[in-house]
Amino acid sequence: MTKATCESTRLIKRRNLKNDYYSFTFAPFSAAGRCRAGHFVHAKLPTGVVFFRRAFSVAAVDTDRREVELIMKVMGRGTRIMAGMRPGDPVNLLGPLGQPFKPPRKAERAILVAGGVGFPPLLFLAEQLMMRGHDPGRIVFLYGGRSGADIIERNRIRKLGVDLRIMTENGSLGRRGLVTDPLKAVVDGGVASRIYACGPEGMLKAVNDLAQNLGIPGQLSLEAPMPCGIGVCLGCVVPLTAGGHARVCCDGPVFEIGEVAL
């Protein structure tokens, strides 16, 4: 497991991406260079209004500048407080935490499946694969949401040159349908593939079932309320198919397809 750092840092950049979606860049965070796609950081907000830290997947890092970018949607009290923060505000970050994605081999095709707020770790994965010299032609990025209002940072993915396919449930952007609809056709391409998915539970379950039926390996990144984030409170457990529980925070959040009883 990667060593975690607990450190006070500051918000240096806040961008409202679209509607309730925000990007926050924090610096200096000395552990930025140790963050990999799938890792999360646990943020202690400068307020007594929420008691626990809040867990956010890392969306991007700038190692030289020791910057870490988090992307989130305002969902509840914690994210609303974050959305109201201003550059210069202090935040204590603990991370990187959890098990990151295991990248594919260069000969393999990576199929990234992002649903709504599950987008940030897959953006990071796509950028990480490009940095490592993977062929963009071998990376398919399926990105879905309820409507176009849920699709953010399209240009960042396009710039990577990967095969981006957008799906919206109401058809207001990209093709109409679920993000998982094109999955089977994409997988049928013949080349050995590996799936990476993050999104709502129903989507993860669909990906999990389809991948198992087709015999395609891959990984899912799960979300769970996490009091501690380091494996000690046992609050974020999920049932495993083999029996027993796993802690999402430290045994995950990235699990192998088929590992978790969804």
Partner 1 sequence: MTPDMKVTIAGVEFANPIMTASGCCGYGEELARLYPLSKLGALVTKSITLEPRLGHPPPRTAETASGMLNAIGLANVGIDAFIRDKAPFLARQKTRIIVNVAGATIDEYVEVSRRLNDVAALDMIELNISCPNVDQGGMEFGSDPQWTERVVAAVRKVFSRPLIVKLSPNVTRIADIATAAESAGADAFTVINSVVGTAVDIETRRPRLTYNKGGLTGPAIKPIALAMVDAVHSRCRLPIIGVGGISDWRDAVEFFLCGATAVQVGTALFVDPDAPLRIVRGLRDYLKRNKLTSINDLVGRLEKY
Q: How many residues bind partner 1 (CB under 8 A)?
A: 29
Question: What residues contact 62, with CB distance under 8 A and at least 6 apart?
Answer: 32
User: According to the binding rule CB under 8 A, does residue 133 interact with partner 1?
Assistant: no
Candidates 63-71, 197-205, 209-217, 226-234: pick the segment binding partner 1 (CB under 8 A): 226-234
Neighbours of 119 (CB within 10 A): 27
**What's the CA gap between 237 and 224, in Å, rounded?**
8
Nearer to partner 1, 6 or 192 (CB): 6
User: According to the binding rule CB under 8 A, does residue 231 interact with partner 1?
Assistant: yes
Q: With DSSP H G I counted as helix, E B as strand and the rest as coil, what are the percentages for the chain, rounded to 5?
A: 20, 35, 40
CB distance 1 to 250 below 8 Å: yes
Candidates 59-67, 130-138, 156-164, 229-237: pick the segment binding partner 1 (CB under 8 A): 229-237
Selected from 183, 250, 260, 262, the binder of partner 1 by CB under 8 A is: 250
Selected from 176, 177, 239, 241, the binder of partner 1 by CB under 8 A is: 239
Reference 223, options 260, 182, 186; nearest CA is: 260
Please report how close the Cβ of residue 34 comes to partner 1 at its closest, in angstroms.
13
Question: What residues contact 26, with CB distance under 8 A and at least 6 apart?
Answer: 9, 10, 11, 12, 67, 68, 69, 70, 91, 93
Candidates 30-38, 107-115, 154-162, 243-251: pick the segment binding partner 1 (CB under 8 A): 243-251
Candidates 63-71, 118-126, 162-170, 234-242: pick the segment binding partner 1 (CB under 8 A): 234-242
Nearer to partner 1, 33 or 225 (CB): 225
**What's the CA gap between 147 and 153, in Å, rounded?**
14
Segment 70-99, which members bind partner 1 (CB under 8 A)? Answer: 94
Please report how close the Cβ of residue 145 comes to partner 1 at its closest, in angstroms.
23
Selected from 12, 27, 50, 178, the binder of partner 1 by CB under 8 A is: 50
Selected from 157, 179, 216, 228, the binder of partner 1 by CB under 8 A is: 228
Selected from 75, 214, 232, 261, the binder of partner 1 by CB under 8 A is: 232
User: According to the binding rule CB under 8 A, does residue 207 interact with partner 1?
Assistant: no
Contacts 24+ apart (CB under 8 A), 101-107: 101/36, 101/37, 101/38, 101/125, 101/196, 101/219, 101/221, 101/254, 102/219, 102/254, 103/37, 103/128, 103/129, 103/132, 103/134, 104/129, 104/134, 104/194, 106/133, 106/134, 106/135, 106/138, 107/192
Candidates 58-66, 118-126, 196-204, 222-230: pick the segment binding partner 1 (CB under 8 A): 222-230
Query: What does the binding site for partner 1 look like in residue numbers (CB under 8 A)?
Result: 1, 3-4, 6, 44, 48, 50-53, 94, 224-225, 227-239, 244-245, 250
